[in-house]
A and B are shown apart, each in its own frame.
Chain A
Amino acid sequence: MVVTQRNSGPDQAYPIPRMAIVDDAEFDQMLYARIIGRTGLVGETLSFYTAEEALAYFEAPTAKPVDVILLDINMPGMSGFDFLDQVTSKRLMKFAGAVIVMLTTSLDPNDMARAGSYDLVKDYINKPLEEGHIGRISSVLEAVRQGAPTPL
């Protein structure tokens, strides 16, 4: 896991205080950090290169709760859906209040439908990630906190 801390203010000042990103593509992770940094909307990002790594982190008692998880679907080993199944079946309560957003290249409408079947998943973003997406995720998070409807 790579933690990127942005020190331009106290965490609470950010619309998305802490965000986890689960994606196997190395260059993409580097790019996400730059894109997210430019938006100034995210306080801290935790980057995981595999779903197994992310799951192990969240299962540990020392895990810090996150506000948003950006989750890729197609990854070597455990897929994004495997991760969601594990999280759901193990009732990882750390996720209470966390919003999961799928971030994927998948063009398969079945993937989108499947993503929508998980209560935890609130939005579905097609790659490439753009700065505008972070604003959108921040609105989704806001909507969830206020009990308002979300895209998924």
Chain B
Amino acid sequence: MQSQAQRTEPDTRHYLERELENLVQDRQIWHFLRAGSLDGIWYWDLEHPEHEWMSDEFWELLGVKPGSKPHSPLAWQDLIHPDDLKVATKNFRAHCADPEHPYDQIVRYKHANGSTVWVRCRGLAIRNAEGKPIRMLGAHNDVTSLKRAEASADAEQLHSRQTDEELRAFAYSTSHDLKSPANTIRMLLQEARLALRSGDPADAELMLDKAETTNEAMRTMVEKLLEYTRMVGKAPAHEPVDLDRLMSEVLDSIAADIRQSDAKITVDTFGMVLGTDWQLRQMLQNFVTNAIKFQPEDRCPRIDIRAVSAPPGRLGIEIADNGIGITLENQVRIFDLFTKLHRPSAYTGSGVGLAFCARVARSHGSDITVRSALGEGTVFGIHLPLLREAPSWS
């Protein structure tokens, strides 16, 4: 018999391990239990509390070489989270006093690599004939992956709740801002009908013209909204982007506006960033078209797109204009969806552009900063992740 053969060798094992093994009798079953169902076993001599035997699995779970620590409670007391040690001690006392009170808690240990190991720790006091606890048998289960899954599920839920909230707010403001031109068109058509009935086709024509204009504005708004929607709830998938090429393409695409407004634009050299091409393109275009649009009537737009200092690993960009400027209190509001600061006859807009920019910035890990003086101009600032060399694994 195998157990017979082993018994001939000198048994150097800890007395508590031997005693424990006798409790379980069959060694094979004992090892199966130890390795197969538990992530650590401890057996504590309550009459000599400095003696506590811990299984190899117990130490392996914490990244500690088995055998390198003494079989004593002192060996693990520095590794358990102090708050959790308090809970465990409290439960230990209660369980000793009353067997009905379970010794069962989830505690945090510090792994040798610094990470946290979550362990469910249960124990049973073994009592003598008088009912006095003389030993304690404990079992550990590693629940770290469960805890991690729980934390990520919580984060997921929070994110989904935020997305829901955002979607609701979005739907609300969208319905409001689309209903508004729809109302105007309805009234205009009504006026056109009345004009026709009263034999005034010229007036009817005028009303229909205005209906057409309103409809066009509504169409533009729907397009902008679609663009904005493409951003919502999407994890960024960034790629290397040549910002200089992108910048010159953006300026080409609005060349007609630039010519018409006689805008003077200077652009620094930027290099490569990590980002989403179409988002950055649309964001920069929004910034530049805003800078052209929000100008006093008699002034030629001057726009400087410059590279500025930024946190490490980031590329700072500023878009500075000499436009009408934004008051301090409005500098926050402008990034809300559908916020328009001006009546349509002064400056047209859908109220979506800067909300879109803020989203793009956020998906690239940046806020948008605003510096502005009324009548003098505005400077928008963002920073983007610089493209780094691909890491080599060799």
Question: Complex: how many Å from CA A24 to CA B172?
Answer: 20
- Does chain A have a CB within 8 A of B175? yes
Quick one: closest B residue to A35, CB to CB?
B187
B184 contacts chain A at the CB level, 8 A cutoff: yes
User: Is B343 a contact of A127 with CB atoms below 8 Å?
Assistant: no
Evaluate contact between A129 and B187: CB separation under 8 angstroms. Answer: yes
Contact present for B180 and A76 (CB under 8 Å): no
Q: Which residues of A contact B175 (CB under 8 A)?
A: 107
Whether A26 lies near B183 (C-beta < 8 A) is: no
* Interchain CA distance A49-B184 in the complex, whole Å: 16
Q: Once bound together, how far apart are the Cα atoms of A74 and B351, in whole Å? A: 12
A31-B188, A35-B187, A129-B187 known; A49 vs B176 contact (CB < 8 Å): no
- Quick one: given A25-B344, A105-B176, are A34 and B191 in contact (CB under 8 Å)? yes
B340 at the interface (CB under 8 A from A): yes
Q: Which B residues are CB-close (under 8 A) to A106?
A: 176
Judge whether B187 and A28 touch: CB under 8 Å.
yes
Q: Is the interface of B mostly helix, strand, loop or mixed?
A: helix
Per-residue B-contact encoding for A47-89, CB less than 8 Å = 1, 0 else: 0011000000000000000000000001111000000000000
Q: Which of A31, A34, A50, A108 contacts B184 (CB 8 A)?
A: A31
**B374 on the A face (CB < 8 A):** no
Please tell me if the beta carbons of A74 and B184 are within 8 angstroms of each other in the complex. Answer: no
How far apart are A134's CB and chain B's nearest CB, in angstroms? Answer: 14
**Tally of A-B Cβ pairs under 8 angstroms:** 57
**A25-B344, A50-B343 known; A31 vs B180 contact (CB < 8 Å):** no
Residue of B nearest to A127 (CB): B183
A31 to B180 alpha-carbon distance, docked (Å): 14
- Known pairs A31-B188, A35-B187; A127 contacts B345 (CB<8 A): no
- Cα distance, A31 to B187, chains bound together (Å): 7
Select from chain B the residue with minimum beta-carbon distance to A23. B343
The docked-state distance in angstroms from the alpha carbon of A24 to that of B184 is: 12
In the docked arrangement, what's the CA distance between A76 and B339, Å? 7
Select one of A30, A34, A76, A127 contacting B340, CB under 8 A.
Answer: A76
Q: Is A128 an interface residue (CB 8 A)?
A: yes
List of B residues within 8 angstroms of A76 by Cβ: 339-343
Residues of B within 8 A of A50 (CB): 343
B38 to chain A, nearest CB (A): 56
Interface presence of B147 (CB below 8 A):
no
B191 and A105 contact, CB distance less than 8 A: no
| Given A76-B343, A77-B342, 15 new contacts (CB under 8 A) | A25-B180, A25-B344, A26-B343, A26-B345, A27-B213, A28-B183, A28-B187, A31-B184, A31-B187, A31-B188, A76-B340, A105-B180, A127-B179, A128-B186, A128-B187
Q: List 8 A-B contacts (CB under 8 A).
A: A26-B343, A28-B183, A49-B343, A49-B345, A76-B341, A108-B172, A127-B180, A128-B186
B residues neighboring A (CB under 8 Å)? 172, 175-176, 179-180, 183-184, 186-188, 191, 210, 213-214, 330, 338-345
In the A-B complex, the 5 residue pairs with the smallest Cβ-Cβ separation, listed nearest first, are: A128-B183, A24-B343, A31-B187, A76-B340, A127-B183
Q: Which residues of A does B touch, CB under 8 Å? A: 24-28, 30-31, 34-35, 49-50, 74-77, 105-108, 127-129
